[in-house]
Amino acid sequence: MENSKLRNKIMLITYADSLGKNLKELKTVLDRYFGEAVDGVHILPFFPSSADRGFAPMRYDRVDEAFGDFSDIAAIAETHPLMFDFMVNHISRSSEYFQDFLQRKDASPYKDLFIRYKDFWPGGAPTREQVDKIYKRKPRAPSVTAEFADGTREEIWCTFGEEQIDLDVSKPFTRRFIRDTVKAMCERGAALIRLDAFAYAVKKPDTSCFFIEPEMWELLEEIRETVEPYGVDILPEIHEHYSIQLKLAQRGYWVYDFALPMLVLHALYTGRGDRLKHWLDICPRKQFTTLDTHDGIGVVDVADLLSEQEIEETRELLFTKGANVKKSYNTAAYNNLDIYQINCTYYSALGNNDEAYLLARAIQFFAPGIPQVYYVGALAGANDIERLEATRQGRDINRHAYTLEEVARETQRPVVKRLLELMRLRNSHPAFGGECRTALEGGHGLTITRVNGGHRLTLRADLKTHEFSIE
């Protein structure tokens, strides 16, 4: 990690208003309750946004006033390397860019930012065959109807929610916007920039419009070259087959390990460690590991690391062994038809069982890569059924907002005290800088040994009883 601002220590993932009500209170929580247990912090999008909890950014040159301002970001950055989000695929429908385009249409200086169906598709609109090829989250063509001030209407590319209008990354104007935005993030204290929904950014007719090569690599390289002089790293966020992460890693990029959550659940539910061991042996070393994120537990990422039958078995066991988790929380009744993730906290996925949960975290901390711990997971949070029922949004089950008083109380729970102790060990022991060796012992024993020069640390785990030791 030469020239990088990152350190091989645990990174917390949190919203600006989830540990306390704003950035100032977040800093209090970090200083008072987490201390040496947390190094980096991924503050989920803190810019003014019109939807999707920050992921429909209207602009990047301000902090949402409800959270604070850039001086609050700078105060946290003094002691914690920070990860910022850049939505490389889209921008808010309510942004001045799109609103100006609706007003002035072809006379708008921002017209090249957006993908107009009439220009993109050779026939002005996609054929059924072309629509079927697109890797998408909607059963229809990914578009919204733009109604211009002059009374005309057009279809504009829109992959996600209607407030998230896709950017045309093929245009020089958009590329300049991307470069200027990530450069400004570097100047405002980012140590790492997460490229949200990166694989969707490049579109070409008659393709899946997902991870399109070689254009994806050209875009990624351009962003890397822009941030490199600042000693800032980039992390493309891609939920898909693990082979994509291996490809990125081969080219020297940081990647996410989104396969680990389901593999650990499979191991702890069944007592079988072979699938988990296989992944620990082949996974990229330059990666950020996760068990939980703001999006829930990823399923699509584990394809071929678990068989289809094993994935289904793990899903079913999650609904039987998990605490307060129902299939209905992942349906249209809770505004969720996302087959990519299961809505559940990781603690509740393991039945709110302290031993199983601590073992899951120990496995994560011993795995290759920099561990990320989502704020609900850092406090061993259970499913927030009250919030879920109030909002009817499936993902809110894993998005409890903690007051300072709640954080003070939760950090006194024995499971959280032990977790913070594990986190401090992961951050301070020199063995974690080196190689990772794994072994299966007996029917359901797993050992992971980290070795760095003369330093050595071994996790011995019983995947059936969930007992473990570190020596």
Give the residue from 321, 365, 360, 325 showing the smallest Cα distance to 341.
325
User: How many Å apart are CA 144 and CA 462, to the nearest integer?
Assistant: 52
**Phi and psi for 454 in degrees, rounded to 5?**
-85, 0
Residue 144: beta bridge partners?
Answer: 156
Task: List Cα–Cα distances, 348 to 134, 292, 372, in angstroms.
Answer: 35, 11, 18
Report yes or no: 343 and 336 within 8 Å, Cβ to Cβ: yes
Catalytic residue, candidates 17, 64, 196, 257: 196
DSSP 1: -
User: How many Å apart are CA 229 and CA 217, to the nearest integer?
Assistant: 19
Catalytic residue, candidates 17, 237, 301, 396: 237
Residue type, 167: L
Give the residue from 275, 269, 339, 273 showing the smallest Cα distance to 304.
275
Residue 438: beta bridge partners?
Answer: 448
Q: What is the DSSP string of 240-278?
A: S-HHHHHHHHHTT--EEE-SHHHHHHHHHHH---HHHHH
Catalytic annotation on 196? yes
Catalytic site positions: 196, 237
